[in-house]
Structure 1
Amino acid sequence: MARLGNLKSRKAVIETCLAMNASGINQGTSGNVSLRSDKGFLITASGVPYDAMTPDQVVEMDLDGGYYGEWAPSSEWRMHLDIYRSRPEAQAIVHTHSTHATALSCLRKDIPPFHYMIAVAGGADLRCADYATFGTKELSENMLRALEGRKACLLANHGTICFGPNLAKALWLAIEVEALCHQYFLACEAGEPILLDPAEMARVLDKFSTYGKQDAEALAKAQASGEAPVKRD
């Protein structure tokens, strides 16, 4: 029998899957979602439609590659496992076959700094992992190399994978990556995009260290540079 601990977390995984498909960045059962747990992680079952998925069909796995219950985990479980084992900051993962990200992944090229928001992935470009058959150790190893210093990457002839500190932020990043890939696709159709230089991307990445943060230290840093307003009493 499946262990139904973390019922709230299981429901959150399903809700994220439904939001993923509703946003248009995934279709059918092609993508998958996981959430770190105290014993390992929870991941969507293989081949189960998200609008019919029940909490017992969210599979519990440990970090040694074992799973519990009657339902087999997603065929991409290894990518999730290896991210959780190698990136302690990863608390949630979203893998999609979003249209433009997947199309660009078929070119097997990194996405360059055509827009400053490319920094949301953690670096000055969005890397594309080398191709390998889905569900294989080779694919997972290729993915980990592409994710060095990054929170997202493309997977050649496949799609994209993103992680974050929670499900909401992992999903947000997946949506943002698809938007960037769409923008880059359109820019390339119109001409040759003008890329931001390394110095500018270094500045952008420094600013992103405080982007969206409300803590006092981050705010003070931004205020000291004159790039955040000063709070009045």
Structure 2
Amino acid sequence: MQSEGALRQKIIDLCLEMNRSGLNQGTSGNISARFGESMLLTPSATPYDRMTPEMIARMPLDGEDGTWFGPLKPSTEWRFHRDILRARPDAGAVVHAHPIFATTIAITRRPIPACHYMVAAFGGNDVRCCGYARYGTAELSALVVEALADRHACLMANHGMVALGGDLDQAMWRAVELETLARQYYHSLQIEGGPVILSDAEIAEVGKGFASYGRQSEPSALAPGVSG
């Protein structure tokens, strides 16, 4: 297990990378990581380039009242970070962002179907879009957790996206892959006839193939984006 200090710094590093890559803008995104019986979460409304490890909030996963420790209050989205980590023991980290193409699709309130075989990286034959509720609410958290059932990512209606992973690297890798998939789907919708959707059997076959790449906690396990 990484030390708490290293995990806090890793969260900041990925926040900075998230904005450098265009995956997120400003302070609208947030990242959490499981640490024992707690989670470490980015603070609210704090520019990433001014963030220090001490500013990362720590919240007990069994807390019901939003109890937190640290000099700054946690992100307003702490509820779904906490509830995802509670509901998904396989998840060690959660990335939430508002990337352009994933958010554009989410504004239409539609899922991303199996337009590309990489949809299998998210646990099924589509990436669901959860219903809408105001940011920071228990209602939104419940909708997100439901959409993530048997999945590793989802879109959030009129809002953005969320991706999870066994660790921070895998969660960020999935967030990047989701935005790539959303971009491909968006552009395919502009072509007459639209995308050709892969069958459930074809996606199941891809899922079996992915298992042979090795540990999926390593971003490189699925990173090639090509067969072989």
Same fold (TM over 0.5): yes
The alignment's C-alpha RMSD in Å is 1.5
Partner of 1:144: 145
Find the aligned partners of 1:136 and 1:164 in 2 and give their Cα distance: 23
Find the aligned partners of 2:50 and 2:38 in 1 and give their Cα distance: 24
Are the counterparts in 1 of residues 123 and 152 from structure 2 also a CA contact under 8 Å?
Answer: yes
Partner of 1:9: 7
Could you list the per-position Cα deviations for residues 128-174 of structure 1 after superposition, in whole angstroms to 9, with x for gaps in the alignment? 00111100011111111110000100000000000111111111110
Give, as a single letter, the amino acid of the residue that structure 1 aligns with 2:67: G
Indicate whether 1:179 and 2:180 are aligned. yes
**Aligned counterparts, 1:26-41, within 5 A:** 26-41=24-39
Partner of 1:115: 116
Indicate whether 1:66 and 2:64 are aligned. no
Give, as a single letter, the amino acid of the residue that structure 2 aligns with 1:208: F
Find the aligned partners of 1:90 and 1:193 in 2 and give their Cα distance: 31
Find the aligned partners of 1:33 and 1:56 in 2 and give their Cα distance: 15
Find the aligned partners of 2:213 and 2:104 in 1 and give their Cα distance: 29
1:199 deviation in Å? 1.4
1:212 deviation in Å? 4.0
Find the aligned partners of 2:100 and 2:125 in 1 and give their Cα distance: 22
Q: TM-score under structure 1 normalisation?
A: 0.87
Are the counterparts in 1 of residues 34 and 40 from structure 2 also a CA contact under 8 Å?
Answer: yes
Are the counterparts in 1 of residues 93 and 164 from structure 2 also a CA contact under 8 Å?
Answer: yes
**Aligned counterparts, 1:29-178, within 5 A:** 29-63=27-61, 64=63, 65-178=66-179
Find the aligned partners of 1:146 and 1:83 in 2 and give their Cα distance: 11
Structure number with greater Rg is 1
Partner of 1:206: 208
Could you list the per-position Cα deviations for residues 4-55 of structure 1 after superposition, in whole angstroms to 9, with x for gaps in the alignment? x821111111011011111110010000011110131100000000011011
Find the aligned partners of 1:91 and 1:39 in 2 and give their Cα distance: 11
Q: Identity over the aligned pairs, expressed in percent?
A: 46
SS in 2 for 1:36: strand
Partner of 1:222: none
Find the aligned partners of 1:180 and 1:212 in 2 and give their Cα distance: 22
Find the aligned partners of 1:8 and 1:58 in 2 and give their Cα distance: 12
Give, as a single letter, the amino acid of the residue that structure 2 aligns with 1:175: V
Find the aligned partners of 1:49 and 1:134 in 2 and give their Cα distance: 19
Find the aligned partners of 1:135 and 1:180 in 2 and give their Cα distance: 26
Find the aligned partners of 1:139 and 1:210 in 2 and give their Cα distance: 36
Find the aligned partners of 1:210 and 1:132 in 2 and give their Cα distance: 39
Partner of 1:21: 19
Find the aligned partners of 2:163 and 2:129 in 1 and give their Cα distance: 12
May I ask how many residue pairs the two structures share in their alignment?
212
Find the aligned partners of 1:48 and 1:15 in 2 and give their Cα distance: 14
After TM superposition, the structure 1 stretch with the greater mean CA deviation from structure 2, 198-207 or 163-172, is: 198-207
SS in 1 for 2:204: helix
Find the aligned partners of 1:36 and 1:45 in 2 and give their Cα distance: 15
1:98 deviation in Å? 0.3
Structure 1 residue runs of 5 or longer lacking an equivalent are 215-226, 229-233
Find the aligned partners of 2:57 and 2:67 in 1 and give their Cα distance: 10
